[in-house]
Structure 1
């Protein structure tokens, strides 16, 4: 249950909608309001493998939040609107591919669900996700880490000072996708000046070079100076100007927990910017807590521009070197903590490479303290283009693991249609 004082409560949306009504935005011909629909379980399973199943881990609110993103995607892709902002909750960017419970207020990664939906329904290939939340989107990073066709850019308060403690430049993607995972950790106290210095000096150039078919803004608003869970200094104007520059096709509400002092104004500014309307008058009524940015923040930004710019420019040669070194597979070990439920997960994820296709993933996961007790699973994740030979090899490995009897669950994820097969 969410208490009346929980940061991720329904007032996050209610105060914003009241502001939009008060300003008369819904009366304008440029603004259209849509009702969300419920996402299907298969929509979620294109992005996630739930243990024991995603259906047993979610509530109707998660289907509504993900469904709101799909409505936004349909509205843009059908040409009914030029851009869309999915004002939904609960958020999702801390939810990883494998889900055992809630972490960082997230169970379902609503952006990843939408990305896979866009690919399945509309055939979109190259997508950029720009995460403007103050917390590193470790779940989005996890899901997109092996995908060279998804450019994930996250700027956030340095993980040495804030949850989840990740999001550093060397987390740049697995060998086959090296360079398409861009982390930009900023010093606490970074404000509008540093943010736009970073965008103008680096992010815009990377987006232009990548040439995505669609840009998605994972629109966390807890970089705001009044947010109670972080220590940044961005204003509503800073956010609106960023939205104006980014020109995202779809924005999705993520974090932002200054429910009265920030969210109504930041959201209003973003909506006006996305509608190509004047947002210059959107100002918080109280800026008494706004701190002047320290010059050290700009020095960090300049360092990121130089170092990450070089990482991006050399991504193809680095990718080639890494693939030559790792051969047919690449593994990583992960220790994952679910702060909402006290779950501790140990995971080994292996990417299997193939010259004929994008290969497949194997995941060995063991979690202690879940709502279902201690759990273990061996998981195969088959990509859209996984060839028949790789499929057979993956199934052979899964059957062997099943015969070994080590795992409570042996599961196969079919990303193309969102089916989860239990062996």
Structure 2
């Protein structure tokens, strides 16, 4: 009888009733082939690998993270609640000691969903990792969390949600945004004024292979994690870096994914993208499961794997090393950069235009954060879209200081007579949430 070195919990949720359309790359078959492979390989016969059934998240769980307009029901389905619930289920199993590692193989994905949600962008409606993280913070008192996003697309939604949170280290390793959706994730994107430096972007050139990815994990990601000392490491385990993926231009292999997982050793992994449904996902996911469980994965080999064809070009190797050194240099200078860039500002604001490429919605957003030495700062968001919805939201973080709470409450009071279709407040310090919908 084979026994896992580390007890590992899995959740499968293919979401049979949710698809953008029947032929879209983001459809239920993404997980069905993996599920078949796991059973065929006999992984559930291994002592220490356990399948859990997903729970549903509540609307309160979503309100900890998102401002949804016009309301949560309008931008989610039951599948979204179960997908996020699957991530919460494996996190609970890890936190309560039932397993040492957890992997949520769920869809719909979530890492392009930002704090404000008007609809679907990048195949994502709600951010399942962020909902999971704020759940375990509220229930188990976890503070410092690291998210390492290895999806080929920049995790711009997760970045947005934790942009102002110095207790969340967000690292995204992705194909250069100049060559791939969503066109963001550059080294200069460092986080908000109270959290500058805890957003770390590593944009890799097309044709990066196992060599470049694993060098980046070992020489860039691991030293940063060692400095940050998180209590929990979460891997947004997107698999569209694979050489056979139809949407991207990278040369990562299934064995490379397993090596990455072994090196990173995340507490919790959550599936994100990956659209080579037959040629990659069953093999990549099997490798990840074996690596999490501490089992031999050296026999993992997908169809079409050819070492000679996947050799990393020398110019790509040179670029990867240059990017890695630049990222490390920025990380080491983060405190000096914060002092230089933030200065004596009392608040800092951003104005952004955001496109929801799936639902074809255009959003204009202005946010403002208090600059504070005592807490994470209070945040207000003014967001309108071409659907006619106009949201005003206030976010109060856990551990808020009296001055920032007073500013947040003042902002919310002043918004009473504004032209908003929804006024909403997230108070994570008191775990209370308020929504006031109005007629458009």
What range is the shorter-chain TM-score in?
over 0.9
Contact 1:328 1:352 in 2 (8 A): yes
Assess if the C-alpha contact under 8 Å between 2:257 and 2:288 holds in 1: yes
Q: SS at the partner of 1:374?
A: coil
Maintained 8 Å contact 1:221/1:266: yes
The answer to whether structure 1 residue 379 and structure 2 residue 393 are counterparts is yes
CA contact (8 A) 2:70 2:421 kept: no
Q: 1:292: Cα distance to partner?
A: 2.9
The range that moved more, 328-337 or 221-230, is: 328-337
2:230 is the alignment partner of 1:216: no
1:410 to partner: Cα distance:
2.0
Match of 1:247 among 265, 273, 286: 265
Secondary structure at the counterpart of residue 176 of structure 1: coil
Look up the match of 2:339: 320
Alignment TM-score, normalising by the size of structure 1: 0.96
Match of 1:32, SS state, is: strand
Would you say the 8 A contact 1:265–1:282 is kept in 2?
yes
Q: Distance in 1 between matches of 2:290 and 2:40?
A: 14
2:349 aligned with 1:335, yes or no?
A: no
Q: Which among 416, 419, 422 is matched to residue 433 of structure 2? A: 419
Q: Distance in 2 between matches of 1:273 and 1:52?
A: 42
Is there any run of 5+ residues in structure 2 with no aligned partner, and where?
A: 1-18
Change (3 A) 1:418 1:187: farther
User: Shift of residue 418 of structure 1?
Assistant: 5.8
Q: Tell me, what secondary structure is at the counterpart of 1:116?
A: helix
- Conserved in 2, the CA contact under 8 Å of 1:272 and 1:279? yes
Aligned partners of 1:47 and 1:415 also within 8 Å? no
* Partner residue in 1 for 2:222: 204
* Matching of residues 222-241 of structure 1 within 5 Å: 222-241=240-259
Aligned residues: 417
Partner-residue secondary structure (3-state), 1:43: helix
Question: C-alpha offsets along residues 33-56 of structure 1, whole Å, 9 cap, x if unaligned?
Answer: 111011111111111110122232
Report the Cα distance in structure 2 between the residues aligned to 1:391 and 1:203, rounded to whole angstroms. 35
* Distance in 2 (alpha carbons) for counterparts of 1:206 and 1:162: 25
Instruction: Return the alpha-carbon distance in structure 1 between the equivalents of residues 56 and 361 of structure 2.
Output: 28
Name 2:311's counterpart in structure 1: 292
Show the counterpart of 1:304: 323
Query: Is this contact kept in 1: 2:164–2:376, CA < 8 A?
Result: no
Equivalent residue number for residue 81 of structure 2: 63
Partner of 1:410: 423
Map Cα deviations across residues 304-336 of structure 1 (whole Å, 9 max, x no partner). 1221111111112222333324x2111111110
Deviations along 1:61-98, one digit per CA (max 9) or x if unpaired, are 00000000111111101111110101110000000000
TM-score (normalised: structure 2): 0.92
Displacement of 1:388 after TM fit?
3.9
Shift of 1:288: 5.7
1:393 to 407, 420, 426: 407
* TM-superposed deviation, 1:122: 0.6
Task: Report what 1:41 is aligned to.
Answer: 59
Which segment drifts farther, 405-414 or 173-182? 405-414
Deviation at 1:391, TM superposition (A): 2.6
Distance 2:432 2:260 in 1: 34
Q: Which runs of 5+ in 1 are unaligned?
A: none
Query: Does 1:129 pair with 2:147?
Result: yes
1:174 and 2:179 equivalent? no
Say if 1:103 and 1:218 are closer, same or farther in 2 by CA, change over 3 A.
same
User: Is the deviation greater in 210-219 or in 346-355?
Assistant: 346-355
> Which of 338, 343, 367 lines up with 2:385 in the alignment?
367
Answer yes or no: is 1:52 the counterpart of 2:70.
yes
**What is the rounded CA distance, in whole Å, between the counterparts of 1:105 and 1:3 in structure 2?**
11
Describe how 1:265-284 pairs up with structure 2 within 5 A. 265-284=283-302
Residues in 2 aligned to 1:3 and 1:166: alpha-carbon distance in whole angstroms: 26
Aligned equivalents of 1:68, 1:396: Cα separation in 2: 38
What is the SS of the residue equivalent to 2:389?
Answer: strand
What is the rounded CA distance, in whole Å, between the counterparts of 1:379 and 1:214 in structure 2? 29
Distance 1:74 1:5, change over 3 A: same
CA deviation after TM superposition for structure 1 residue 299, in Å: 1.2
- Maintained 8 Å contact 2:193/2:371: no
RMSD of aligned residue pairs (Cα, Å)? 1.5
Secondary structure of the residue aligned to 1:8 is coil
